[in-house]
Structure 1
Amino acid sequence: MFQEIYDVIVVGAGHAGSEAAAAAANMGSKTLLVTMSLQNIAQMSCNPAMGGIAKGQIVREIDALGGYSGIVSDKTAIQFKMLNKSKGPAMWSPRVQSDRMRFAEEWRLMLEATPNLDFYQEMVKGLIIEDGKIKGIKTSLGLEIRSKSVILTNGTFLNGLIHIGEKQFGGGRAGESAAYGITEDLVNAGFEAGRMKTGTPPRVDGRSLDYSKMREEPGDAKPDKFSYSDETHALKIQKSCHMTYTSLEVHDILREGFDRSPMFNGRIKSLGPRYCPSIEDKINRFADKDRHQLFVEPEGWNTVEVYVNGFSTSLPEDVQFKALRSVVGFEKVKFFRPGYAIEYDYFPPTQLKHTLETKLVEGLYFAGQINGTTGYEEAASQGLMAGINAHLKVHEKDPFILKRDEAYIGVLIDDLITKGTEEPYRMFTSRAEYRTLLRQDNADFRLTPMSHEIGFASEKRLRRMEKKLKESEAMVNFFKETSVTQVEANPILLEKETAPMLQSDKMFKIFSRPQINLDDILKFEKVKEYIATHDVDQEILEQAEIQVKYSGYIEKERNNADKLTRLEDVKIPENFDYTKIKSMSIEAKQKLSKIRPVTISQASRISGVAPSDISVLLIYMGR
């Protein structure tokens, strides 16, 4: 069946695997996507949503590079929200509520329309490793499929174990079997493995809920979209979510089941996601809280299935049911399925290079939850980068690595391979030193030219980005060059309770005032004339506003990034012997020898490596 040697084999078709396969195939590699179920490609295993705080920036970055997640999210969205609009633009984060069934369907259709991509449904039970290089995979039917590179994106399936109360059974997610064999092959090859945990809430029948008792949560009045391309459009009709709360009564019912909870009786020993705790973990850790928010999220346009966001649990199903029936609006709730926790194997990501290629086996890449991350967006971005770099390596081209000042994806990967993680890693804006540079609105400016240069982003994408950049720069120059008089400006300034002008001044200075927003500037006749003459759309106006208002902050952050970039240029020899440096701490020697940083900058970010250790290292290297 498989006589040819593939350039890239991707194992697993979740969010990481789907992006990896699409990237490698679109760049020209002969690619095979192997999954245990072709019906569940890019399945939303947990919440039916994409984006959110920092995650929305990642989806925009994936789209700017040429990935599919933004387009699929737009085409299957049922609601759009821009989170954190009350804060500065560095914090704005797009999020969509998705139609779960249509999301998976759209992903499959897009993958099937991708050239150079083959599909195969079967369990991968092992790897073919020869002389420290990956040579292919072994399946449960005994097939050996040869490849020049392999990307593992196994999600929660590696030796997956599902917990519901005192019951436990093997599974990768509800209704699907776990994958066995790969972990054992990797451990035999010298890899360090660990266990992690995640969980999911019950799914319920929306017809059994009383929404009149809950608070409606509609989408934005003027919804935006994820993709920078013209393949998608903003929603015209949206579906509302709802909000309700737990109570002390609900908490007391949940506590009744703690003695049967796998989290508290020792059955689950691995760590779960800190920032998405189970409901039992929340009421245990935050015992002073009388209630917790529950977001009632529809799973699609037409289905009655509902996701109870905030009620992730592995308590016995009878306790889940009894507690949820005590929540306002859920008095007559009917379950589609109970919530559960799942434990699975992962491999500490300090065993990877920045390309996501493993240090131990050449041509083998890890992406997604196998690296200890949580979230569709984090997984998808890793898959994209692994797919790009597997293609580049196979075709003997330079690797593609994003720096911390270039993308949240760069922050994510650098954090993983430099610091590692002992609990499911989730991206936040606070993890990025340069978040004013890494905004959701400018991901195309930052990344599309770089992606086009390596042969990934299309010419059409690049031209569209260049047009947007040219128009926004022209708008900013208009504000810098256009003067307004006191007569024109002062009525607007006084209305906003800011000091009036004493003489004519440039519009840029007026717009820079914190009290003056875009709506105020649009009142000036000169601005109205410019917009009409140049056919300026909302996207360009918002981009110009950000450039005007935050130009000082952006310039300062760019200067800081440039200073630190100089450390990125100081390379550490590949086989550098840290044990020779007598004046370096033992911990630093151990960490540096294990992680093998490529640059001084990366070495400085390793936990346990002090600034004094970096100084000693620089002196030893003759710097």
Structure 2
Amino acid sequence: MFLEKYDVIVVGAGHAGCEAAAAAANLGCKTLLVTMSLQNIAQMSCNPAMGGIAKGQIVREIDAIGGYSGIVSDKTAIQFKMLNKSKGPAMWSPRVQSDRMRFSEEWRLMLEQTPNLDFYQEMASGVIVENNKIVGIKTALGLSIYGKSVVLTNGTFLNGLIHIGDKQFGGGRAGESASFGITEELVKIGFEAGRMKTGTPPRVDGRSLDYSKMSVEGGDINPSKFSYSDITSPLTVQRDCHMTYTSPLVHNLLREGFERSPMFNGRIKSLGPRYCPSIEDKINRFADKDRHQLFVEPEGWNTVEVYVNGFSTSLPEDVQFKALRSVAGFENVKFFRAGYAIEYDYFPPTQLKHTLETKLVDGLYFAGQINGTTGYEEAASQGLIAGINAALKVKEQEPFILKRDEAYIGVLIDDLITKGTEEPYRMFTSRAEYRTLLRQDNADFRLTPKSFEIGLASEARMRRMEEKFSKSGAMVDFVKETSVTIAEANPVLRAKETSEVTQSDKMFKIFSRPQIDMQDMMQFDKIREYVSTHELDQEILEQTEIQVKYSGYIEKERNNAEKLHRLEDIHIPENFDYDKLKSLSYEAKEKLKKIRPVTISQASRISGVSPNDISVLLVFMGR
């Protein structure tokens, strides 16, 4: 049936698998996407939304590299919000509420229009390895499909086990069977495997809710979008979300079911996501809180199905139902389906290289929840990097690796392979030490040239980025070089209750004041004329403002990043014998032998490796 060999085989068509398949195919590799259900490509298994704190930055990075997540999110959005606007731009994070059904449909249509990409619906049940090199996969029907590289993106399907109260049954997600065979084969080869847990809330009938008892959560008045390309446009109409709260009564009703909860009675032994806990976990951990927020999120433009964000649970259905009916606005709620928890296999990511290729098997890549992460965005970014590197390996080209000061994706992958994770890993802005450099507004500046160089980002994207870079840079130069008089400046400064000037001053100095924004600057005739003459859009004006107001912080972080690069440039030989360094601590030797860091910089980030151990390595390396 499959007579020819594929360059790249991608197993799983969730967010990681879709990005991996698209990237490999767009790089010119003959690619096969294998999934258990072609009807559920890029399924939003949990919340119907993309982006959020730090996650929004990742989606913009995916888009800047040439992935599809940003475009699909824009095309299927029902609401857009820029979170954290009250803070500095390093914290601004775009988020869209999505139409769940259209999101999956749009992904499938985009993939079907991607050259070099084939599809096959069946369960992958194993891998074919010869001489520590991947050569293909096996399916449940007994087929062998051969390929030069394989990307595993199995999500929650590997030996998936669903829990609802005292009931448990196999499944990858509600209504879909689990996948068996791959874990067992990989463990036989020598991989270490573990178990993790995640959960999801009930879905309810929006017609049964009383929205008058909830507060309205609308989108931005002037919404933006994810994709840097001009093939998508900001929303002109948006759907509202709503917010309500739990109460002491709701908490007491939920506590009545704790003895039947798989989380508390010991049936679930694996760890769930710390930063997205179940409602029972929140009540248990934050016993002093008498209420918790619930976000009531529509699942699309036309469907009545509603996602109850904040009520993730694995309690028995009757307990879920009784408690939710005591929430304001939910008195007559009807369930579409109950919430549940799911346990699944993962492989500690310290077994991977920065390319997401496994250390044990040449040409085999892992991406997404198989690496212990949680979230669509984290999965999609790993899929993109794994797909790119699987293709580049086949083409015998240099790997595509992003450093910590280049992208949140670089932070994510470095954290995973250097530190590992024992609970589902979620990205936050606080994980990035260079977050002033890694803003959502400049992902195209940072990453499009790198992607264009390997042939993934299109020429149109590159030219668009160059134009934006040039125009924003020129406007920064303009405000540095152009002065305003006392008569021009002081009325604007007086209105913003900031100290007036006593002589003419450069616009840059006026603009740098925290009280002054672009809207204030547009009161100056010279600025208005410049913007009009050069036809500058809102994106360029925003970029200019950030470059002016945060130039000192940006420069400081850039200098710190350059210091880090000095350690990044000191490479450690692949088979380095740490045992011969007697001055290394025992713990450092064990960790270094397990992780096998590529550079001194990576070694310094390993838990258990002290500054003294790094000094020993530097001395040995002649530094």
Bucket of the pairwise TM-score, normalised by the shorter protein? over 0.9
The aligned counterpart of 2:603 is: 603
C-alpha distance in structure 2 between counterparts of 1:461 and 1:572, whole Å: 37
1:135-150 equivalence runs, <5 A: 135-150=135-150
Amino acid at match of 1:508: F
C-alpha distance in structure 2 between counterparts of 1:346 and 1:519, whole Å: 50
C-alpha distance in structure 1 between counterparts of 2:522 and 2:278, whole Å: 47
C-alpha distance in structure 1 between counterparts of 2:427 and 2:173, whole Å: 23
Q: Please report how far the alpha carbon of residue 86 of structure 1 lies from its aligned counterpart in structure 2 after TM superposition.
A: 0.1
Q: Please report how far the alpha carbon of residue 366 of structure 1 lies from its aligned counterpart in structure 2 after TM superposition.
A: 0.1
The aligned counterpart of 2:460 is: 460
2:106 counterpart SS class: helix
1:320-469 equivalence runs, <5 A: 320-469=320-469
Amino acid at match of 2:510: I
1:147 counterpart SS class: strand
1:281-300 equivalence runs, <5 A: 281-300=281-300
C-alpha distance in structure 1 between counterparts of 2:164 and 2:532, whole Å: 61
The aligned counterpart of 1:244 is: 244
The aligned counterpart of 1:112 is: 112
C-alpha distance in structure 2 between counterparts of 1:217 and 1:91, whole Å: 20
The aligned counterpart of 1:580 is: 580
C-alpha distance in structure 1 between counterparts of 2:286 and 2:366, whole Å: 36
C-alpha distance in structure 2 between counterparts of 1:295 and 1:249, whole Å: 19
The aligned counterpart of 2:548 is: 548
The aligned counterpart of 2:270 is: 270
List, as ranges, runs of 4+ consecutive aligned residues in structure 1 with deviation greater than 2 Å: none
Q: Deviations over 1:546-597 (max 9, x none)?
A: 0000001100100000011110000001110111111111000000000000
Q: Deviations over 1:274-307 (max 9, x none)?
A: 0000000000000000000000000000000000
Q: Does 1:20 align with 2:14?
A: no
Q: Deviations over 1:209-255 (max 9, x none)?
A: 00000000000000000000001000000000000000000000000
Q: Deviations over 1:350-400 (max 9, x none)?
A: 000000000000000000000000000000000000000000001100000
Q: Please report how far the alpha carbon of residue 467 of structure 1 lies from its aligned counterpart in structure 2 after TM superposition.
A: 0.6
C-alpha distance in structure 2 between counterparts of 1:335 and 1:549, whole Å: 50
TM (norm. structure 1) is 1.00
C-alpha distance in structure 2 between counterparts of 1:519 and 1:247, whole Å: 43
1:470 counterpart SS class: helix
C-alpha distance in structure 1 between counterparts of 2:523 and 2:620, whole Å: 62
C-alpha distance in structure 1 between counterparts of 2:49 and 2:616, whole Å: 48
1:148 counterpart SS class: strand
C-alpha distance in structure 2 between counterparts of 1:564 and 1:529, whole Å: 43
Q: Deviations over 1:182-226 (max 9, x none)?
A: 000000000000000000000000000000000000000000000
Q: Deviations over 1:497-553 (max 9, x none)?
A: 111111101100000011111111111111111111111111111000000000011
**Cα RMSD after superposing both structures:** 0.4
C-alpha distance in structure 2 between counterparts of 1:301 and 1:142, whole Å: 42
1:45-124 equivalence runs, <5 A: 45-124=45-124
The aligned counterpart of 1:194 is: 194
C-alpha distance in structure 2 between counterparts of 1:354 and 1:170, whole Å: 33
Amino acid at match of 1:534: H
1:7 counterpart SS class: strand
The aligned counterpart of 1:216 is: 216
The aligned counterpart of 2:523 is: 523
Q: Please report how far the alpha carbon of residue 147 of structure 1 lies from its aligned counterpart in structure 2 after TM superposition.
A: 0.3
Amino acid at match of 2:610: A
The aligned counterpart of 1:131 is: 131
C-alpha distance in structure 1 between counterparts of 2:539 and 2:144, whole Å: 51
The aligned counterpart of 1:564 is: 564
C-alpha distance in structure 2 between counterparts of 1:464 and 1:498, whole Å: 37
The aligned counterpart of 2:8 is: 8
Q: Deviations over 1:53-101 (max 9, x none)?
A: 0000000000000000000000000000000000000000000000000
1:242 counterpart SS class: strand
TM (norm. structure 2) is 1.00
The aligned counterpart of 1:470 is: 470
Amino acid at match of 1:484: V
2:148 counterpart SS class: coil
C-alpha distance in structure 2 between counterparts of 1:494 and 1:464, whole Å: 39
1:128 counterpart SS class: strand
C-alpha distance in structure 2 between counterparts of 1:386 and 1:463, whole Å: 26
Q: Please report how far the alpha carbon of residue 440 of structure 1 lies from its aligned counterpart in structure 2 after TM superposition.
A: 0.1
The aligned counterpart of 2:257 is: 257
Q: Tell me, which stretches of 5 or more residues in structure 1 are unaligned? A: none
C-alpha distance in structure 2 between counterparts of 1:472 and 1:341, whole Å: 48
The aligned counterpart of 1:279 is: 279
C-alpha distance in structure 1 between counterparts of 2:579 and 2:170, whole Å: 44
Q: Does 1:225 align with 2:239?
A: no
Q: Please report how far the alpha carbon of residue 609 of structure 1 lies from its aligned counterpart in structure 2 after TM superposition.
A: 0.4
The aligned counterpart of 1:41 is: 41
Q: Number of paired residues?
A: 623
